[in-house]
């Protein structure tokens, strides 16, 4: 069985459903962390993670990656329905 690549990100807002609190550093499957970043729930830039870690952020594991992926997908779909660009950096 292949090892699942993991990634870290700084949590940008509380999400009770996922058990995440603002400014925590969350670790989870890379694809799920990237989806949460695309949805705007976390910042996966290495500088954001380094800053939060330096500030003493609590380190947490993503308890339910499948639920997190569903939350991310729903948030992305909602943004697209509102007319938001797929890539916020692209103007």
Kindly indicate the confidence band of residue 82, based on its pLDDT and cuts at 50, 70 and 90. confident
- Domain map (residue ranges) of the chain: 6-79
Among 15-19, 29-33, 67-71, the range with the most confident prediction by mean pLDDT is 29-33
Give SS3 for 81.
helix
pLDDT at residue 3, as a whole number: 84
pLDDT at residue 91, as a whole number: 40
| Stretch 44-56: mean pLDDT | 97
Give SS3 for 9.
strand
Contact present, 53 and 26 (Cβ < 8 Å): no
pTM of the model: 0.82
| Stretch 8-35: mean pLDDT | 96
Using DSSP bridges, classify how beta strands 25-29 and 59-61 pair: parallel, antiparallel or unpaired: parallel
Nearest to 15 by CA among 33, 40, 41, 37: 41
């Amino acid at each position: 069985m292949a090892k699942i690549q993991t990634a870290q990100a700084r949590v940008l807002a509380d999400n009770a459903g996922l058990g995440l609190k603002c400014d925590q550093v969350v670790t989870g499957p890379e694809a799920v962390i990237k989806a949460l970043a695309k949805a705007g729930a976390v910042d996966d830039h290495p500088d954001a993670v380094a800053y939060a870690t330096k500030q003493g952020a609590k380190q947490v594991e993503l308890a339910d990656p499948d639920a997190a992926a569903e939350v991310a997908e729903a948030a992305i779909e909602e943004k697209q329905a509102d007319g938001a660009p797929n890539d916020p950096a692209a103007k």
